[in-house]
Chain A
Amino acid sequence: MHDKQVAFTALAYYVSDFKLEENVPDRKEFAAVLAERHGEEIQARIEQGVVGVMGLGGLGSAVAVALVRIGIGKLLLADYDVVELSNLNRQYYFADQLGLPKTVALRDTLLRINPYVCLETINERLSEERIPLLFKGVDVLVECFDDPAMKPAALRAALTALKGVGFVGASGMAGFGDNNRIVTRRIHPRVYLVGDGEAEVGPNQGLMAPRVGIAAHHQANQALRLLLGVDEQSE
């Protein structure tokens, strides 16, 4: 409760600086342009889509931006952390957002991309037990955690307590290794894992925007495919 109040205050202050309401096309214009670009039927399905993003770091922030750009219906954004200088090498934040909760900073950025997107933020450290409670009802859940223990925990939560929900996890995208070793593989119906499976953060192998971005966009496209009813391994 306390966190939410802090977050809300920061958002109200921060967003008001941008005066989002001025000179922004209305909701119908946004929708029309997206439908024209993407195809009406496809866009109608995207607009119905509800996606949960767990962890708003290098993966999650980029996944959220990609999904908002294509006109996703609703995003649930979860993170407990604040924006730090060390995040800016790969995460979708700005130097003037240092110190803000990531949920607040990202919500602000996403609303600048599309002021009409429906966003819900969850400012807490997630756990295996909390995930099914918070994300029940989403169409697709995207696991973007940094912590290697939360990755299998999220997969267990999805497979045992969120049956039928699409799931896109990630593991192994540090450094500057081969682009094409980042793959998307299907491990269960509607459950996918992205990454090379092994490139861990270590000496001379940091997380860097290019390769984390490749993995993030694999995740975003897989989430989109699930929303559009495609459930097969990409070639």
Chain B
Amino acid sequence: MMQIVCNDEKKEIRPETTLIAFLGELGVKPDTVFVECNGVIIKRDEYETLVLPEGARLELIRFVGGG
């Protein structure tokens, strides 16, 4: 296991965890979340391929529908 920080909270993940898998574990719908990893904005089509590096600092902003 390795550690990352997600919205200022420490999380343990398995090595080689992709962003999409991590979001799945959190129960977050990938299309409705804005993601920054180590200060870089992640494009939606990179969620499937981005492997979270050790110590990554993730900022997630979840959006709900309605307007």
Does B associate with A? yes
B34-A156 in contact (CB<8A): yes
B66-A200 in contact (CB<8A): yes
Q: Is B44 an interface residue (CB 8 A)?
A: yes
Which A residues touch B29, using CB under 8 A?
148
B66-A156 in contact (CB<8A): no
Nearest-neighbour CB distance to chain B for A124, whole angstroms, equals 17
Is the interface on chain A under 10, 10 to 19, 20 to 34, or 35 or more residues? Answer: 20 to 34
Which B residues touch A156, using CB under 8 A?
34, 41, 43-44
- Per-residue CB contact flags for chain A residues 159-193 toward chain B (1 = under 8 Å, else 0) read 11000000001111110000000000001000001
A152: nearest chain-B partner, CB-CB: B34
A152-B32 in contact (CB<8A): yes
A61: nearest chain-B partner, CB-CB: B67
Number of A-B contacts (CB under 8 A): 71
A200: nearest chain-B partner, CB-CB: B64
- Per-residue CB contact flags for chain B residues 28-64 toward chain A (1 = under 8 Å, else 0) read 0101111000000101100000000000000001111
Q: Is A59 an interface residue (CB 8 A)?
A: yes
Q: Is B65 an interface residue (CB 8 A)?
A: yes
Which B residues touch A193, using CB under 8 A?
61
A147-B65 in contact (CB<8A): yes
B41-A160 in contact (CB<8A): yes
Q: Which of A24-67 contact B (CB under 8 A)?
A: 55, 57-60
Which B residues touch A144, using CB under 8 A?
67
Which A residues touch B34, using CB under 8 A?
151-152, 155-156
Which A residues touch B66, using CB under 8 A?
58, 146, 148, 171-174, 199-201, 207, 212
B44-A172 in contact (CB<8A): no
Complex: A152 Cα to B63 Cα, angstroms = 7
- Per-residue CB contact flags for chain A residues 191-211 toward chain B (1 = under 8 Å, else 0) read 001000111110000010000
Which B residues touch A200, using CB under 8 A?
64-66
Complex: A200 Cα to B29 Cα, angstroms = 13
Contact among B44, B62, B65, B67 for A153, CB-based, below 8 A:
B44
A145-B61 in contact (CB<8A): no
A60-B67 in contact (CB<8A): yes
Complex: A55 Cα to B61 Cα, angstroms = 20
Known: A152-B33, A156-B44. A197 touches B65 (CB 8 A): no
Nearest-neighbour CB distance to chain B for A233, whole angstroms, equals 16
Q: Is A1 an interface residue (CB 8 A)?
A: no
Which A residues touch B62, using CB under 8 A?
171, 197
Known: A152-B33, A153-B44, A159-B41. A172 touches B67 (CB 8 A): no
Nearest-neighbour CB distance to chain B for A11, whole angstroms, equals 24
> Which residues of A pack against B, CB within 8 Å?
55, 57-60, 128, 144-149, 151-153, 155-156, 159-160, 169-174, 187, 193, 197-201, 207, 212
